[in-house]
Amino acid sequence: MTKTLLLGQTLTYSGNPFLNGWEPVTHHRRRGGVLIDGAKIVEVAEADALRAAHPEAKVIDYGNHLISAGFVDAHMHYPQTGIIASWGKQLIDWLNTYTFPEETRFASRPYADEVAGRTLDLALDHGTTTLTSFCTIHPESVEAFFAAAQTRGMAVVAGKTCMDRNAPDGLRDTAQSAYDDSKRLLQAWHGRGRATYAISPRFSPTSTPDQLAALGALWAEFPDCPMQTHLSEQLPEIAWVRDLFPDARDYLDTYEAFGLLGTKGLYGHAIHLTDRERDRLAEVDASLIHCPTSNTFIGSGLFDMTGLAGRGLRVGLATDTGGGSSFSMLRTMAAAYEIGQLRGAAIHPAQLMWLATEGSARALHMSGQIGHLGAGAAADITVLDLGSTPAIAQRTSRAESVWDMVFPTLMMGDDRAVAAVWVGGTKLR
């Protein structure tokens, strides 16, 4: 197979920029190259050196554009694509008013196919090459999503959302059917091509203890699979969990008690954590998924990036569409920055880009495979135009450092900044 050499500015990481400073582990090349062979990246180095060493490679020169690993969205709900930006509700009312009625429609496979394809295409338009998605209670919604990702060659993580209480008719399963359907889908899809199956209890309020126990048992049978859910997103939600589980020490305990706390656990939001919850999450090396546009849009609260990522916890970054208000991981980085500012901590652009790529991949336990611009990783690549609008270009024209050049696109950029997208070595945008 012919090799392809992408030229431009490159951004790579050799470690976690939240530990011991971002500078030692962040590497920018003004004129770099990314050599692709088949579906994989084989080398990232200076452009001239790669050109000389690989004269046979087909060269695509992106000039001053920034070549990054493709963005990895670590938590979203593809069935909510159609109701993104629905007005005026906080979490529980938002679920009941907008989300649940829409999710009932995914009993229809043709509808699920249409929204799955639309969502993955929107993600690609925005430079996102991996989505981690909740589906609905309907197995059809899971089949549709994995099939649409397979067609596009994308690595995705997804699972059947399980709910057996506090959800409307047509949107409840049972403890047994959740176990059976999840197991069947897991066995059909986990590890098939680029698919990863995530066991997916929605959150404690919509699962009975029996269902949580059944899914805990399933996870114990298939510990290689991630388990995704929601944790401590909004104060009224936490009060509701306290009422529903009077014996639990805290929200996390409603998972822990049923075998749903573990290293491969992905806990969305994780905003209002107690000290015990923080310590337990750190102890088991679980992943927290920060969903900043959702946390402002639904009015949930301010994630403690410094306290959690700074402690070495696995933190991924996510759009959480349709609770989140954007398909763009650029906009998501901007919101993460803004929330950091509201907490008195300015997250550096090197850290923001790391979160959207390496950090999310680490949270998903896929480090080195995706979200990584380096040898051996999948050639999932996003090329950013750092002057994509007049407003951004007039700012970068006076840039004095690489971060002056990158940060305006993180704060002000959208899909117009996405100059090219490669998935598994194939150019899709």
According to DSSP, the β-strands at 265-269 and 227-231 are parallel
Q: Is 221 helix (H, G, I), strand (E, B) or coil?
A: helix
Site for ligand GUN in 33-92 (CB under 6 A): 77, 91
Q: Does 230 bind ligand GUN (CB under 6 A)?
A: yes
Please identify, using beta-carbon distances, which residue of 289 and 392 lies nearer to Zn ion: 289
- The rounded distance, in Å, linking the Cα atoms of 67 and 10 is 5
Q: Does 164 bind ligand GUN (CB under 6 A)?
A: no
Smallest separation, CB 131 to Zn ion (Å): 12
Residue 143's binding partner among Zn ion, ligand GUN, none (Cβ under 5 to 8 angstroms by kind) is none
For Zn ion, what does the binding mask look like between residues 310 and 339, x meaning CB under 5 A?
Answer: ----------x-------------------
Please identify, using beta-carbon distances, which residue of 320 and 358 lies nearer to Zn ion: 320
Please identify, using beta-carbon distances, which residue of 230 and 331 lies nearer to ligand GUN: 230
Is there a contact between 140 and 124 (Cβ–Cβ < 8 Å)? no
Please identify, using beta-carbon distances, which residue of 82 and 368 lies nearer to Zn ion: 82
Site for ligand GUN in 281-320 (CB under 6 A): 294, 298, 320
Smallest separation, CB 294 to ligand GUN (Å): 5
List the beta strands (DSSP E) in 78-188: 128-134, 156-159, 161-162
Enumerate residues 6+ apart whose C-beta is below 8 A from 149: 116, 120, 131, 155, 156, 158, 194, 195
Smallest separation, CB 64 to ligand GUN (Å): 37
Smallest separation, CB 237 to ligand GUN (Å): 7
Distances (CA, A) of 69 to 40, 41, 326, 356, 384: 12, 10, 20, 9, 10
Q: Is 66 helix (H, G, I), strand (E, B) or coil?
A: strand
Smallest separation, CB 113 to Zn ion (Å): 22
Burial class from Cβ neighbours inside 10 Å (0-12, 13-18, 19+) for residue 334 reads buried
Smallest separation, CB 262 to ligand GUN (Å): 20
Is there a contact between 401 and 395 (Cβ–Cβ < 8 Å)? no
Smallest separation, CB 91 to ligand GUN (Å): 6
Of 324, 393, 309, which Cα lies nearest the Cα of 354? Answer: 309
Please identify, using beta-carbon distances, which residue of 323 and 408 lies nearer to Zn ion: 323
Rule CB under 6 A: choose which of 9, 99, 325, 409 binds ligand GUN. Answer: 99
Is there a contact between 300 and 331 (Cβ–Cβ < 8 Å)? no
Beta bridge partners of 59: 5
Rule CB under 6 A: choose which of 194, 202, 331, 348 binds ligand GUN. Answer: 202
Rule CB under 5 A: choose which of 268, 340, 413, 424 binds Zn ion. Answer: 268
Smallest separation, CB 96 to Zn ion (Å): 15
Total residues in contact with ligand GUN, by rule CB under 6 A: 12
- CB neighbourhood size of 13 (10 A): 22
Write down the H helix ranges in 108-174: 109-125, 139-152
H helix or E strand, kind and range, residue 289: strand 287-290
Residue 280's binding partner among Zn ion, ligand GUN, none (Cβ under 5 to 8 angstroms by kind) is none
Q: Does 326 bind ligand GUN (CB under 6 A)?
A: no
For 332-372, the DSSP string reads HHHHHHHHHHHTT----HHHHHHIIIIIHHHHTT-TTTSS-
Smallest separation, CB 79 to ligand GUN (Å): 9
Q: Does 278 bind ligand GUN (CB under 6 A)?
A: no
Residue 413 has which token pair? 């950029």
| Chain position whose Cβ is nearest to ligand GUN | 323
Residue 392's binding partner among ligand GUN, Zn ion, none (Cβ under 5 to 8 angstroms by kind) is none
Please identify, using beta-carbon distances, which residue of 79 and 153 lies nearer to ligand GUN: 79
Q: Tell me, what DSSP letter sits at residue 375?
A: T
Q: Tell me, what DSSP letter sits at residue 160?
A: -
- The rounded distance, in Å, linking the Cα atoms of 202 and 268 is 10
Site residues, Zn ion (CB under 5 A): 268, 320
Site residues, ligand GUN (CB under 6 A): 77, 91, 95, 99, 202-203, 230, 233, 294, 298, 320, 323
